[in-house]
Copies of this chain bind each other. A is one copy, B any other.
Amino acid sequence: MSDRAGDIEGAIEAAARAARRAAPALAGLAGGARSALLRDLAAALAEPAIREALLAANREDLARAEREALEPVKRARLALTTGKLESLADGLRQLAAAPELLGAPTLRRELDEGLVLERVPCPLGTLGVVFEARPDAVPQIAGLALKSGNALLLKGGSEALASNRALVAVIHRVLAAHGLPTALVALLERREDFAALLGLDALVDLIVARGSTPFVHHVMASTRIPVMGHAEGLCHVYLHAPCDPAMAARIAVDAKCSYPAACNAVETLLWHADAGVALDACVAALAGAGVELRGCAATRARHPGIAAAQDADWDTEYGALILAIRRVDDLEGALGHIEAHGSRHTEAIVTDDAAAAERFLARVDAADVFHNASTRFADGYRFGLGAEVGISTGKLHARGPVGVDGLLTYRWLLRGRGQVASEYGPGKRAFRHRDLDLE
């Protein structure tokens, strides 16, 4: 190990240790005090002087992005705007108003007279979150961590470094104003910092990794800390007859075009042979919106102008204005295609056939399954979670948009009067196992 590597590891370990030590001060606050913190953070984002400082820092990042010819999609993600800051403040206020989950038992059970068990939510402890060059993620993730009583080490995409620093400075100001240690939220600036964090399994309780699927797998393979992966989404919209063509076109355009780089954007449109008219409406609307279409043979037989899709298209997350289109024989065909090619993220059916819709909702194994709604609704803010730390594509702990719930664990607390286990059993005392009301 070089001296420099040793220095980095030492510094990151110190930051993680300080964050961990600071966490009980946050978790020990009454819920109202944590909510006040979030409201003050929302207010700070709206203060003209702070807002101007944030936008100025972001202009630095944007200027460098322009010099380095960053792709337009990534520049859009990087840009902070007054509108984005307003949405962020809104989300923080929503989060402040959300019910307090910490400390409120989710189960209370009398095992026997005078022997009462409770299951009580508590913070995970210390979180490490790595995410794309998108500065709006900083207040969102910090808001969720503060609401849930967790300490936080953040590593954002380096293109957003100036913006992230400015945002973390605002968070530190608000923490200090509330008498809390600023070590609760730490910004890691270099790739090596995050690599060092992955080695600290005694100090960090959860890694949230947002980014490409290979990146998420790389993180998972590089640490013994549990990883919640927010990887790519390969989402489908399936048109099943009878199907309103105008609704189909509106959903297809929103799902593809409103933010093509988002993980909840659609990549493949599936259509039942009887839903050809709805397909036609989608093709016209998507072509009009500048989307490049790639179809199977049956699709091209109906729309000869469409390019031919290759096998690889069914497995590609374009993240751009490109859409693959495939005809399926029936609902089972759609379910089979989604099972084989979907990423278990978000899948939607558009149909007026209520029974087919319910079959689709019951059968698709994905985090989010929608009927007559755009895949783009798969989002913590839209789901009313206040914000999201990511969209989990794993099945364990948290699935889909991850809000406060996903940053909590629980403890089982048992209060007795000296009972021992060997008093109970066949021929001895029996457990009562009576659930008590939660107040």
Residues in chain A within 8 A of chain B (CB atoms):
24, 28, 83, 86-87, 94, 109, 111, 115, 117, 124-125, 205-206, 217, 220, 224, 226, 244, 247, 250-251, 253-255, 258, 350, 357, 361-374, 376-379, 382-384, 394-397, 399-401, 409-422, 424-426, 431, 433
Contacts and interface: CB of A to CB of B under 8 A. Distances in A.
Nearest to A406: B396
A211 B276 CA distance: 57
Given A125-B395, A361-B413, A400-B412, A421 B382 contact: yes
A376 B117 contact: no
Given A247-B418, A397-B397, 20 more contacts: A24-B363, A109-B384, A111-B382, A206-B396, A226-B394, A250-B418, A250-B420, A253-B420, A368-B412, A368-B414, A369-B411, A372-B416, A373-B420, A374-B421, A382-B424, A384-B431, A384-B433, A396-B409, A399-B409, A400-B411
A109 B377 CA distance: 13
14 contacts: A83-B426, A87-B425, A87-B426, A125-B365, A226-B395, A226-B396, A258-B420, A357-B415, A369-B411, A369-B413, A371-B415, A371-B416, A378-B412, A384-B433
Given A382-B421, A420-B258, A414 B373 contact: yes
Given A117-B383, A412-B378, A397 B396 contact: yes
A317 B25 CA distance: 32
Given A125-B365, A365-B125, A383-B109, A376 B412 contact: no
A251 B418 contact: yes
A370 B414 CA distance: 5
Specify which of A111, A254, A383, A399 lies most central, judged by the most chain B CB atoms within 10 Å of its CB: A383
Contacts of A378: 412
Given A395-B125, A396-B206, A396-B397, A415 B373 contact: yes
A111 B377 contact: yes
Nearest to A82: B426
Contacts of A217: 224
B83 A376 contact: no
A254 B396 contact: no
Chain B CB count within 10 A is highest, among A366, A369, A379, A420, for A420
A419 B28 CA distance: 42
A328 B117 CA distance: 28
Contacts of A28: 362
A56 B117 CA distance: 39
Contacts of A422: 254, 258, 376
Contacts of A125: 365, 395
A128 to B, nearest CB: 14
A414 to B, nearest CB: 4
Contacts of A362: 28
B414 A371 contact: yes
A415 B372 contact: yes
A361 B376 CA distance: 43
Nearest to A99: B435
Contact of A411 (B253, B367, B376): B367
B426 A395 contact: no
Contacts of A111: 377, 382-384
B395 A409 contact: yes
A115 B373 contact: yes
A372 B417 contact: yes
A224 B396 CA distance: 13
A304 to B, nearest CB: 29
Nearest to A375: B421
Contacts of A396: 124, 206, 226, 396-397, 409
Contacts of A395: 124-125, 205-206, 226, 409
B414 A377 contact: yes
